[in-house]
Structure 1
């Protein structure tokens, strides 16, 4: 026993020394940005098909941005694929995750085809989820018209050394780029909550996310391009070629793989579903009406948020200012909802002041990160006591294999709010400490009654009995979940659709001091 204690002591000391060296040498351990600076290519009146179509269209409403909400996954895929096909100048793509799956391959194929036509492609991906993707990313980077950079990357690309680096640089690698943007020719932008992967585009055979993007054309696209340039040229963005040797011969193999993948039965079936979607085709054919407004901006955290003490430049500060100005109604959608003491007080204060305050988040069974749910449940009772209405998304589809810290089973991924039926936000920002303090986030802020009405309708759709449980307090103060899909409504006295072990472990996690990491 004594020998075991000695070995445990040495192990703890080794970890402490490893982390301490990371704190002392962080600037030297972090890979250096070595890419040449570049910026968004200037707009032209008629250089590309998008220029020729949009320039006259936008000229009819100078100073205004056209915006359309993309609720449906097939629509969201169609817009990205179709815009890449008609791109003639540039594709600037910024994502937290790009999966090695059907949708990831189909959209990579569109990006590669655009580069083959001479389109300049800049692809910026957060490095936390790129393990195993280096061969494909390096192959893309080998194309003369494609450059790939990784945000806050690991120096060690695989194996135990990558794990050791994660421990050593814990405090620096804990800061991630959660931004999502698809920018075409500097004319069109898709900004919102979707990463690139099957579950975000209704292509998964298991469980698909309910998510939301906004398609933009007009002055607000320049905001998105400016944000992209700031991240691309920051010291946190490192060319992948500087981290791993290039293998140009792999480009041809990747191109062949992407072409063959698109001919597989699963790909053909998915593309047929996209083609058969009336709303997707209306989007592709520019037949959907957009909301026009001069009060639409794309905003983001600074690229080096983790080194900035000026919180006024953080996205959180702008979102709080919007909430503070609420009078009648505040409707929030956040899959990961950990409001904290201050956030809870703000929402309860708004309810006490007479505003209708509602929140939609994931139920425990639907949450892909139960540890986050443990942070949420600490505040659930206080929110209900304070007059806040809570709705929890029902688990959608078969139960996935769910661990304590993640699975593929979340059914809600939308991050948005609408205030007083007049203004709102759609983006990547969760109402939790990680979005507030650790990750960089971005999204669209707007003040337009038409967009607000569309977003309010999405809130009401998600809060409807078919999709959500309503949480309420019982007469004895305990919590109840109301299943309004049956008549009469069924009352549940514990977390619905979740087994006792998951409920118990989540409760235990709620006692741990991990909220700052959620």
Structure 2
């Protein structure tokens, strides 16, 4: 028997063992399990390589710990709010929101997401306006700056940020920058060294053991947070780079949604940053009052909700499902990737069939082809149920927003796909306010004017080639 026969036998046995581990040990959901088994069956060698890159699970042991977290009184505050919800003493500032108390309860119970009701929130849908506001706030910093971004580029906008951060560090402001190593893989050492030379503390999330050889495609930190002096916080979809200013020729104008929050919700954003920082850095941030110097500034209710593969529950997805279940009139969704799992797809279909007006807006162009075709396949299901689907034409749509009945909404980093719900670390602001939600409504309706409607008739006229791409992409979507 030749060496090739031995090699073939080894590959077959190894693939069987790997398949058994996926089925019996990792406890993936059924669709993901079948997808990986098909990959291993038809691509035995390449499938193994793909599994090493995309499929390896992360330990369910929480990787974010903070020994001094108890000093913040997080658990005490959560228990107090839970009791208030249970005994009927919890009150929104706006009576119309009372029906959504159970959504607050869900996030409190499962994610320790403290509800704050004294926030002022600004909405940014344009990159230039968002970055101008953020840089202005950075310029005003007197104590500390905390930045967490999935992607930071060393282009013109990146250098503009570097100039401000170096300046503030030289003024004695504590500056920390945390970036995802995969998302910011093009960030050069020269850029980082310039920051570090000025005294800026810089850390990478899940870096490789060998520089520039990071094969951990999954389990990335997709969060975008900025906290200045513990008083002002930013959360949303914009990363740092010229493309988010609409300077990329391929995508053109970049349509996203970002929030500037002033109020006690910033404390919860700060906690999220510190937990992430302490995971990535040996120089832990310890509890100090100066990091929690937020003060009430408005009357918007906010919960900061995190999710990630280290958790037992898909917190943000569960929040989306609960919002959809509570809808009586309409649901507006904007997302660059729409590949819902069965649970979310079913609840949306039920909403449509129950008479709720469901509108979904997606980009008209792909940044990831397989994800784009899987998105088209997914919206086709809801078109058949009666949902309205719009394709944004004025550039690239990257916003991740959900608006329900003009009362509650969510803005953050989580897309509607398996990667955001199960594989990446995400953070969203769940918002309870009539005026703020109306502003998000208005933004959605303005975007409809810049979109074309994908009707059921148009969808059914797609070519065989597109149908084939959709079918293949949907089949492999659980492992994308």
Rounded Cα–Cα distance in structure 1 between residues aligned with 2:401 and 2:56: 39
Question: Structure 1 residue 349 and structure 2 residue 393: aligned?
Answer: no
Aligned mate of 1:307, from 305, 310, 317:
310
Superposition deviation, residue 21 in structure 1: 12
TM-score (norm 1): 0.67
Residue deviations 1:461-488 (CA, integer Å, cap 9, x gap): 1111xx21101122xxx626xxxxxxxx
Q: How does 1:19-418 map to 2 (within 5 A)?
A: 64-136=118-190, 138-140=192-194, 142-143=196-197, 145-158=199-212, 162=213, 166=215, 173-204=217-248, 207-234=252-279, 237-238=280-281, 292-301=298-307, 305-309=308-312, 311=313, 314-363=315-364, 366-394=365-393, 396=395, 411-418=396-403
Task: Return the offset for 1:341.
Answer: 2.9
**5+ residue gaps in structure 2?**
12-43, 73-115, 284-295
CA distance in 2, matches of 1:444, 1:104: 25
Mapped to 2, the partners of 1:141 and 1:383 lie a distance apart of 48
Per mean C-alpha deviation after superposition, the further-off stretch among 99-108 and 11-20 is: 11-20
Is 1:451 the counterpart of 2:474? The answer is: no
Deviation, structure 1 residue 120 = 0.7
Secondary structure at the aligned position of 1:107 is classed as: helix
| Residues 421-432 of structure 1 mapped to structure 2, 5 A cutoff | 421-432=406-417
CA contact (8 A) 1:38 1:229 kept: no
| Deviation at residue 442 of structure 1 after TM alignment | 0.9
1:392-418 Cα distance to aligned partner (Å, 9 max, x none):
11263xxxxxxxxxxxxxx11111011
Alignment equivalent of 1:479, drawn from 443, 456, 459: 459
Aligned: 1:434 with 2:419 = yes
Residues 316, 473 of structure 1: alpha-carbon distance in 2 compared, 3 angstrom cutoff: closer
Question: 1:101 Cα shift?
Answer: 1.1
Q: Deviations for 1:253-298, whole angstroms, at most 9, x for unmatched residues?
A: xxxxxxxxxxxxxxxxxxxxxxxxxxxxxxxxxxxxx993241222
Q: In 2, are the aligned partners of 1:68 and 1:291 still within 8 Å (CA)?
A: no
Q: How many residues align?
A: 386
Tell me the CA shift for residue 382 of structure 1: 2.1
Contact kept? 1:176, 1:438, Cα under 8 Å: yes
Task: Assess if the C-alpha contact under 8 Å between 2:337 and 2:417 holds in 1.
Answer: yes
The secondary structure found in structure 1 opposite 2:298 is strand
Residues 1:444 and 1:13: Cα distance change in structure 2 (over 3 Å): closer
On the 8 A contact 1:291/1:451 being kept in 2, the answer is no
Distance 1:102 1:9 in 2: 54
The answer to whether the Cα contact below 8 Å between 1:373 and 1:506 also exists between their aligned partners in 2 is no
Structure 1 residues 82 and 88: CA distance shift in structure 2, 3 A: same
**TM-score if structure 2 supplies the norm length?**
0.72
Specify the alignment match of 1:463 in structure 2.
448
Work out whether residues 147 and 239 of structure 1, in 8 Å CA contact, stay in contact via their aligned partners in 2: no
